[in-house]
Structure 1
């Protein structure tokens, strides 16, 4: 399931020019995933049934925020305990997207709308894949698939933001 989601999101974002052909390797951000996932899961699971695309999409925004923090001052942000909770608590879970777009990414106007639409499309594609996987809700398989989807959305958010920040992933000799 995770590989299917990765390929779909990768192809979509590549076709939009939002990521480079070579995905970024950023161990600092990848190593933060288990901590972020553990903190996010109670909120994400609670919201999933009523708002699946929000539950999925917010993690892509978190990936973008983390890439921004990495670029800005990783010595500081990399050591911040409960960084997800700190982001969420700024405006609450329902407005996490607005907080990240406006206060972390400093987006406004058309750029904000376009980035929001991009995340919404990625979340919708991922939710569609989950629906078509025909997993029984509440099962360990469904939980594993959900976490796999969150992981890929986090990584794609990270990749999109790193490219927006001017990092280009190319092979070097």
Structure 2
């Protein structure tokens, strides 16, 4: 891939991450910082091809779902990271499927992994936030005026999913009480 394309995609992803971080911070779901873990980044890179195989066919009919589920995956992975990463680090991507496979992955992760009742106020706020972020992501992709179904569209979509997964991990890490703190020498 040409360096100019890589630079363009890097800028797009950075802008998207900042936009999503601001949205989450404005809603008090994050504190202006993107909590991350190298373990979770590696996990995403391992499962991302499987996710893309499920998500790409959904883009035309369900564009927000195709990016939103990456955020939910980030939350589920972060939960497993906190519980017992030695056990869960090799979890198969399909473990995150709901009883209807990819279609209801969101409900499965929220209800069965994060242990939130789907009717709870916390779950409703989370769903609203994820929907807003997914719509913002799709809007930003469209704003780039990339030719649909082109290689560049695929690359931009993949970068958007990277950003959504990262935001998902940050949201869940914050929910579990993680925060940045200065280490004194």
* TM-score exceeds 0.5: yes
The answer on whether the counterparts of 2:36 and 2:166 sit within 8 Å (CA) in structure 1 is no
2:145 corresponding residue in structure 1: 134
Cα deviations by residue, 1:36-62 (Å, 9 ceiling, x for unpaired):
211101110010110000011011000
Q: Mind listing any 5+ residue stretches in structure 1 that lack a counterpart?
A: none
Q: Mind listing any 5+ residue stretches in structure 2 that lack a counterpart?
A: 1-11
1:38 corresponding residue in structure 2: 49
1:157 corresponding residue in structure 2: 168
Alignment match of 2:65 (pick from 48, 54, 61): 54
Q: Separation in 1 of the partners of 2:178 and 2:97?
A: 27
Cα deviations by residue, 1:103-146 (Å, 9 ceiling, x for unpaired):
00011211111111111111000001011110001211111100
The answer on whether the counterparts of 1:20 and 1:169 sit within 8 Å (CA) in structure 2 is no
The answer on whether the counterparts of 2:98 and 2:107 sit within 8 Å (CA) in structure 1 is no
Alignment match of 2:35 (pick from 24, 39, 64): 24
Q: Separation in 1 of the partners of 2:34 and 2:106?
A: 24
SS of alignment partner, residue 149 of structure 2: coil
Q: Separation in 2 of the partners of 1:19 and 1:169?
A: 11
SS of alignment partner, residue 97 of structure 2: helix
The TM-score normalised by the length of structure 2 is 0.88
Q: Separation in 1 of the partners of 2:29 and 2:183?
A: 21
Alignment match of 1:85 (pick from 94, 113, 118): 94
Alignment match of 2:134 (pick from 116, 123, 126): 123
Matching of residue 95 in structure 1 with residue 72 in structure 2: no
Structure 1 residue 90: Cα displacement: 4.1
Structure 1 residue 20: Cα displacement: 2.6
Matching of residue 104 in structure 1 with residue 135 in structure 2: no
The answer on whether the counterparts of 1:47 and 1:54 sit within 8 Å (CA) in structure 2 is yes
The answer on whether the counterparts of 1:21 and 1:169 sit within 8 Å (CA) in structure 2 is no
The answer on whether the counterparts of 2:22 and 2:32 sit within 8 Å (CA) in structure 1 is no
Ranges of 4+ aligned residues in structure 1 off by more than 4 Å = none
Q: Separation in 1 of the partners of 2:135 and 2:115?
A: 24
Structure 1 residue 7: Cα displacement: 1.1
